[in-house]
A and B are shown apart, each in its own frame.
Chain A
Amino acid sequence: MSARRPEPVQQIKQRRDGVLNALLTGIPYIQFLDIRFDRRGDELTAILPFDEKVIGNTMLPAIHGGVTAAFLEVTAIVGLSWATLWDQMETGELNPDALTPDTLPKMPKTIDFTVDYLRAGLPRDAYARARVNRSGRRYASVHVEGWQDNRDRLFAQATGHFLMPSSNG
Chain B
Amino acid sequence: MADDKVTLVRQFIEGMPHSRALDLRVEYLEDGVSEISMPYDPKLVGDPATGVIHGGAVSALMDTSGGAAVMSHPTDSLGTATLDLRIDYMRPATPGQRITARAECYHVTRSIAFVRAVATDEDRDRPVATATGAFTLERPKKSEDQV
Q: Is the CB of A29 within 8 A of B57?
A: yes
Q: Which of A65-117 contact B (CB under 8 A)?
A: 65-67, 69-71, 73-74, 101-102, 104, 106-107, 109-117
A57-B89 contact given A28-B45, A67-B60, A117-B84, CB 8 Å threshold: no
A115-B43 contact given A64-B18, A70-B59, CB 8 Å threshold: no
Which residues on A are within 8 Å of B, measured CB to CB? Answer: 26-29, 31-33, 52-58, 64-67, 69-71, 73-74, 101-102, 104, 106-107, 109-117, 120
Q: From A69, A101, A114, give the contact of B56 (CB < 8 A).
A: A69
Q: Is the CB of A57 within 8 A of B16?
A: yes
Q: How far is the CB of B87 from chain A (nearest CB, A)?
A: 5
Q: How far is the CB of B146 from chain A (nearest CB, A)?
A: 26
Check if B9 is an interface residue, CB within 8 A of chain A.
Answer: no
Report how many A-B pairs have Cβ atoms within 8 Å: 123
Could you tell me the distance between the alpha carbons of A31 and B42 in the complex, rounded to whole angstroms?
Answer: 11
Majority secondary structure of chain A interface residues (helix, strand, loop or mixed): mixed
Q: Is the CB of A52 within 8 A of B17?
A: yes
Could you tell me the distance between the alpha carbons of A112 and B42 in the complex, rounded to whole angstroms?
Answer: 23
Could you tell me the distance between the alpha carbons of A107 and B60 in the complex, rounded to whole angstroms?
Answer: 20
Q: Which of B56-83 contact A (CB under 8 A)?
A: 56-57, 59-64, 67, 79, 81-83
Q: From B16, B21, B44, B55, give the contact of A110 (CB < 8 A).
A: B55
Q: Is the CB of B82 within 8 A of A27?
A: no
Q: List 16 A-B contacts (CB under 8 A).
A: A26-B48, A28-B45, A28-B46, A32-B43, A56-B64, A57-B79, A58-B17, A65-B85, A67-B18, A69-B60, A74-B56, A101-B48, A113-B59, A113-B89, A114-B86, A116-B84
